[in-house]
C-alpha cells in the first residue's frame, strides 16, 4: 500500500487532487481511498488530504500518520504545520518551491528521505494563469511515485474540467518533466515547529475549565493567522506619507506603528488579504508571492 499525504491551503485544490489521484488509481484497476482532514473549511487555512492506493481492499479509516509520500502544494504551509511528521524513513517529500532539493533539505534540516522540488507556482501561472498548483503537483508526485498513469489522469481531467483541462494537462506535464529529485541517505526526517503545542501540554479533564471559559484576554495572539498567507504585502516606505489608512483597514490589526510613526507589518499575523495594498492611496504597498 502506498500512503500519500497532501498539504496545502483551503482553495488550492488539495482535496480535489487527492480525489483525482484516487479515482485515477481506481480506473487503473487498483483499490484506492481519498479523504480530507475533517474540520471547518476556510480559504487560506492549512488543509490536509490523504490518499491510499493498494492492490487489495483498504479497510482502515485512520488518517495517514506514517506516509510514504508527502506532497506540499504551497511552500508557506511548511511554516504552519509539520508536513514531514511521520514520513517513513526513505520516504518521499515532494514540495512546490523555487528551491533545489538540496537547498530545501538544508533549509528544513531534513535527511534520510527523497526530496523532490518543482516551481509549481511559476508553472501554474504560465499555463493556467493563476497560482493553483494542484494539477502541477500531481505531475511532480507521479514522477517520484507512479501510483496512477498519466493517461488515465489526463482522461479524468478532460471529463471533469473540459474547459480548463488542456491548460491543466500542460501544467501537469511540465511539472512532471521539470521536477528535480535527490536522495538523501544521511540524517533524519526532522522538522520542528516550536510554536505547535504538544499533546502532552494540553489540559486533562481535571485541569481543563469546566465550561470552556477563556479567562485570558487577548489570547488570539496565540493564533498565528500569518500561517494562512500565500501573498505578502511589501512596503516601499519611502513613498509612505504616514496617513494610517492601512493600519485602520487591516482586519487582523497586523500593522503596527513604531515610535517614528513608521508603519510595519507583523508577518506572524498578516494573513495576506491585500486590503492594505488596496486602501493605500499612494501605492506604497504591493502584494507579492510568498516565495519571492
Partner 1 sequence: MARIVGMEISAACSEAVTLADADVIAAYPITPQTHIVEHLSEQVADGRLDAEYINVESEHSAMSCCIGAAAAGARTFTATAAQGLALMSEMLYIASGMRLPIVMALVTRTLSAPLSIWGDQSDIMSVRDCGWIVLFAENGQEVYDMTLQAFRIAEDERVIFPVMVCLDGFHLSHVIEPVEILDRAEIAPFLPPYKPKYRLDPHNVLTMGAFAMPEYFSEIKKRQDEELVSSYHVILEVWREWEERFGRHYEPLNPYRVDDAEVVVVIAGTFAGTARVAVDRLREKGIKAGLASLKLWRPFPRDDIKRLFARRRVLTVVDRALSVGGAGGPVANELRAAFYHEDGRPWVASFVAGLSGRDILAEDFVEMVERSLEYAKKGEFPPYEMYGVRE
Binding residues for partner 1 (CB under 8 A)? 199, 202-206, 208-215, 217
Nearer to partner 1, 186 or 199 (CB): 199
**Helical residues (DSSP H) of 52-191, grouped into ranges:** 77-80, 101-108, 120-127, 134-144, 150-160, 165-178
Q: What three-state secondary structure class fits 47? A: strand
From the list partner 1, ligand SF4, none, partner contacted by residue 136 (C-beta under 5 to 8 A by kind): none
Q: Which residues fall within 8 angstroms of residue 233, CB to CB, at 6 or more apart?
A: 265, 270, 272, 274, 276, 277, 285, 286, 287
Q: Least distance in Å: CB of 157 to partner 1?
A: 34
Q: Least distance in Å: CB of 239 to ligand SF4?
A: 7
Nearer to partner 1, 208 or 288 (CB): 208
Instruction: Tell me the three cell numbers of residue 277.
Output: 495594498
From the list ligand SF4, partner 1, none, partner contacted by residue 16 (C-beta under 5 to 8 A by kind): none
Nearer to partner 1, 62 or 215 (CB): 215
The Cα 203–Cα 214 span in angstroms is: 13
From the list partner 1, ligand SF4, none, partner contacted by residue 282 (C-beta under 5 to 8 A by kind): ligand SF4
Q: Least distance in Å: CB of 37 to partner 1?
A: 11
Ramachandran region, residue 84 (left: φ > 0; alpha: ψ -120 to 50; beta: rest): alpha
Question: Which residues form the interface with ligand SF4 (CB under 6 A)?
Answer: 233, 240-246, 250, 252, 254-255, 263, 265, 270-276, 280, 282, 284-285
Placement of cell 513604531 in the chain: 258
Nearer to partner 1, 29 or 217 (CB): 217
Q: Least distance in Å: CB of 220 to ligand SF4?
A: 14
Q: If you ran DSSP here, which 8-state letter would residue 197 be given?
A: P
Q: If you ran DSSP here, which 8-state letter would residue 86 be given?
A: T
From the list partner 1, ligand SF4, none, partner contacted by residue 243 (C-beta under 5 to 8 A by kind): ligand SF4
Contact 94, 30 (CB under 8 A): no
Q: Least distance in Å: CB of 285 to ligand SF4?
A: 5
Amino acid at each position: 500500500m502506498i500512503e500519500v499525504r497532501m498539504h496545502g491551503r483551503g482553495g488550492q485544490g488539495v482535496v480535489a487532487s487527492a480525489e483525482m489521484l484516487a479515482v485515477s488509481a481506481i480506473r487503473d484497476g487498483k483499490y484506492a481511498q481519498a479523504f480530507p482532514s475533517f474540520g471547518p473549511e476556510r480559504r487560506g487555512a492549512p488543509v490536509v488530504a490523504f490518499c491510499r492506493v493498494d492492490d487489495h481492499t483498504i479497510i482502515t479509516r485512520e488518517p495517514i500518520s506514517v506516509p510514504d509520500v508527502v506532497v506540499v502544494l504551497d511552500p508557506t504551509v511548511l511554516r504552519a504545520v509539520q508536513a514531514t511528521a511521520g514520513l517513513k524513513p526513505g520516504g518521499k517529500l515532494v514540495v512546490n518551491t523555487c528551491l533545489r532539493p538540496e537547498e530545501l533539505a538544508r533549509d528544513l534540516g531534513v535527511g534520510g528521505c527523497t526530496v523532490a522540488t518543482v516551481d509549481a507556482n511559476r508553472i501554474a501561472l504560465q499555463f493556467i494563469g493563476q497560482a493553483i498548483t494542484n494539477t502541477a503537483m500531481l505531475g511532480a508526485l507521479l514522477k517520484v511515485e507512479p501510483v496512477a498513469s498519466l493517461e488515465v489522469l489526463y482522461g479524468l481531467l478532460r471529463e471533469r474540467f473540459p474547459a480548463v483541462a488542456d491548460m491543466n494537462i500542460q501544467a501537469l506535464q511540465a511539472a512532471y518533466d521539470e521536477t528535480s529529485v535527490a536522495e538523501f541517505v544521511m540524517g533524519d526526517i526532522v522538522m520542528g515547529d516550536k510554536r505547535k503545542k504538544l499533546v502532552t501540554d494540553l489540559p486533562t479533564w481535571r485541569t481543563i475549565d469546566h465550561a470552556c471559559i477563556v479567562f485570558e484576554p487577548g489570547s488570539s495572539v496565540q493564533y498565528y493567522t500569518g500561517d494562512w498567507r500565500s501573498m505578502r504585502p511589501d512596503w516601499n516606505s519611502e513613498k509612505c506619507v504616514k496617513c494610517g489608512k492601512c493600519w485602520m483597514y487591516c482586519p487582523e490589526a497586523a500593522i503596527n506603528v513604531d515610535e517614528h510613526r513608521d508603519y510595519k507589518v507583523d508577518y506572524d499575523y498578516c494573513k495576506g488579504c491585500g486590503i492594505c495594498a488596496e486602501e493605500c492611496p499612494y501605492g506604497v504597498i504591493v502584494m507579492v508571492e510568498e516565495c519571492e
